[in-house]
Amino acid sequence: MGIKNKIVDGYAYFLTMTVVNWIDVFTQPVYKHIILDALKYNQENKGLILYAWCLMSNHLHLIAEAEENHHLSDFLRDFKKFISKAIVKEIEENPDESMRKWLLNEFEFAGRYKSNIKNFKFWQDGNDAKEIHSTSFLEQKLEYIHENPVKAEIVDYAHEYLYSSAKNYAGEPGLIDIVLI
The full 3-state SS of the chain, as one line of letters, equals CCHHHCCCCCCCEEEEEEEHHHCCCCCCHHHHHHHHHHHHHHHHHCCEEEEEEEECCCEEEEEEEECCCCCHHHHHHHHHHHHHHHHHHHHHHCCCCCCHHHHHHHHHHHHCCCCCCCCCCCECCCCCCEECCCHHHHHHHHHHHHHHHHHCCCCCCHHHCCCECHHHHCCCCCCCCCCCC
Q: Is residue 178 part of a domain?
A: no
> For the chain, how many structural domains are there in total?
1
Residue 181 covered by a domain: no
Cα–Cα dist 50/34, whole Å: 17
Residue 125 lies in a domain: yes
- Decide if 111 contacts 98 (C-beta within 8 A): no
- Quote the CA–CA distance of 32 and 67 in Å, as a whole number: 25
Q: List, for residues 13-64, the tens digit of each pLDDT value.
A: 999 999 999 999 999 999 999 999 999 999 999 999 999 999 999 999 999 9
Asked if residue 76 belongs to a domain, the reply is: yes
Q: What is the CATH number of the domain that holds 76?
A: 3.30.70.1290
Q: How many CB atoms lie within 10 A of CB 6?
A: 10
* Mean pLDDT confidence for 169-180: 96
Range of the domain at 12: 3-169
Assess if residue 22 is contained within a domain.
yes
Is residue 178 pLDDT above 70, yes or no?
yes
- CA nearest to 67, candidates 145, 127, 9, 138: 9
In-domain check, residue 177: no
pLDDT in tens, 82-122: 999 999 999 999 877 778 888 888 888 877 766 666 678 89
pLDDT at position 109 is 80
C-alpha distances in angstroms, 66 versus 50, 58, 93? Answer: 9, 24, 33
Residue 3, pLDDT > 60, answer no
Asked if residue 66 belongs to a domain, the reply is: yes
* Within a domain: 114: yes
